[in-house]
Amino acid sequence: MVMIDMSMDLWSLLLSARLWFFILMFAVSGVVLLTVVWFERKAAARVQMRVGPYHVSPQLGGYLQLLADAFKFIISEPIVPRGAHKILFVWGPAIFVTLAFGASLLLPLTPELRLIKDPSLLPYGLVFSLVILLLVSILIVIIGWSVNNKFAYIGAAREALLVAAYELPLILSFLAMVILYGTLNPIEIAQKQTFLVGAILNPLAFLVFIITTAMATARFPFEIADYEGDVATGPYSDYGGIFLVLSFAGGTYYATFSYSFLATLLFLGGWALPGYAPGPWPQDITGHLTLAIWVFLKTTALMFFFAFLRAAMPVLRLDHTLVLGWRGLLTLGFLAVVWSAALRFVGLAP
């Protein structure tokens, strides 16, 4: 008979790095999302000669309006159209937001706070998160098909064309950074960036990554698949209530969050704080938490940039976007790879 020492296991369970990572990602990503949506509304309002959310919590600048809106969406009656494919219509948004968020769970937050325990499996985590992010867009096509509506059908076709256009440049920019660092291990990638972050070492790859992320997550100027002017928000045209907040408001923003998280790791230095190295995990909780907050701040700053684009840019036409993807971004992607290879050849790569 084996006696299990329950008290020791409970304490080590509570201090487990994976649990802390999980809770931090869920809680803080929700807060980050609300803050980014709040910033988007407020920044757009400031540019547009008006005041954004204000009356619900005037001292906080209307921040709690977001909670009120989310609450309204959640308690709203979910309506499933008669001709829609019922299973995919109902499950589509849930799978969408799970995949969009799940991609960021495969990346490490700090050297110790990560979900993948075995350090030799971390390179696979990096590649898999990129793969899952590319799968998210295919889900949009599935959602558009399940709605059974001509406008959604056109939106889904547009999304399929866009995926073909931005996928290669995204992979090329990823490849360029991997060539630059010479390793796929995210911990080593973050360690190699000091003041010269990835964006400065290879600005072409950063530019390509930014533009393809905007294409992938329907940020202006590429809100083409769910364009309100033409296809009446395309695949999401028959969604309302909880479905809408999971897919249109939640899923696309969670996808932006995951892309920004990946970009923070590759281009903005990850958790690297020059001159600061935390101790091992259970002893130095505050050090790791500081680094985690630093990563979240960088991610939020990048998401703020994407949110600000709504106020500044109109929407580009579909065939111009495809030309931009296949000609402009593909060339830039190849140039980024060549640049990284040249840096590595010369010996300036970290």
Partner 1 sequence: MSAEKTTLGAAVKATIDALAVAARNFVKPERITIYYPYEKLEYGRMRGWIGLWTEKCTSCMLCARICPTNAIKMYPAPNGKRYPGIDYGRCIMCHFCIDVCPTDALYGTGIKELAWYDYKEMIYTPDMEREPPKIQEPYKSVKVAIKYVGGVPKKVRLQE
Partner 2 sequence: MIRTEEYGLVLKEEKLEGGRRVLDLFWGPQHPTSGHTRFIVELDGDVVINVTPDPGYVHRTMEKLGETRHWIQNIPLFERLSLPDAINVTWAYAMAIERLAKIDVSPRAQYLRVIMAELSRISTHLYDLGLHAIMIGSSTGFMWGFGLRELVVQLWAMVSGSRTTPSWVLPGGVRTAPPDAFYEQTKGFLDYLEKKIDEFVRLVIKNPVGYYRLKDVGYLSKEDAARLMATGPAARGSGIDWDARRVYKYGVYDELEWGVCVEDGGDSLARTMVRICEIRQSAKIIRQALDRVPRDGPLVGEAVLHRMPPKQKETANQIIRLGSLFTTRLPEGEGLGITEGGRGRYFFHVYGDGTERPYRVRISTPSWQNLRAMIKTFIGARLMDLPAIYGSFGYFPPEQDR
Asked if 46 touches partner 2 (CB under 8 A), the answer is: no
Binding-site member from 15, 31, 74, 312 for partner 1 (CB under 8 A)? 312
Residue 14, helix vs strand vs coil: helix
Q: Which stretch binds partner 2 (CB under 8 A): 93-101, 112-120, 185-193, 317-325?
A: 317-325
Binding-site member from 154, 162, 165, 225 for partner 2 (CB under 8 A)? 154
Q: Which stretch binds partner 2 (CB under 8 A): 14-22, 52-60, 69-77, 143-151?
A: 143-151
134 and 259 Cβ atoms separated by less than 8 Å = no
Q: Where are the alpha helices (DSSP H) in the chain?
A: 6-14, 17-47, 64-75, 86-102, 122-147, 150-181, 186-192, 198-201, 203-216, 228-231, 242-244, 252-266, 285-312, 318-323, 330-346
Rg of the chain (C-alpha set) = 21
Asked if 79 touches partner 2 (CB under 8 A), the answer is: no
Q: Which does 308 bind (CB under 5 to 8 A by kind): partner 1, partner 2, none?
A: partner 1
Nearer to partner 2 by Cβ, of 147 and 245: the residue is 147
Query: Rounded to the nearest 5°, which phi and psi values hold at 320?
Result: -65, -35
Q: Which does 207 bind (CB under 5 to 8 A by kind): partner 2, partner 1, none?
A: none
Binding-site member from 3, 50, 87, 118 for partner 1 (CB under 8 A)? 50
Binding-site member from 15, 27, 31, 51 for partner 1 (CB under 8 A)? 51
Residue 2, helix vs strand vs coil: coil
DSSP states along 234-299: GGGTT--THHHIIIIIIIHHHHHHHHHHHHHHHTS-TT--TT-----TTT-HHHHHHHHHHHHHHH
The interface mask with partner 1, positions 26-45, x = CB under 8 A, is: -----------------x--
In the complex, the residues that contact partner 2 under the rule CB under 8 A are 44, 47-50, 83, 148, 150-151, 153-154, 220-221, 223-224, 227-230, 232, 310-320
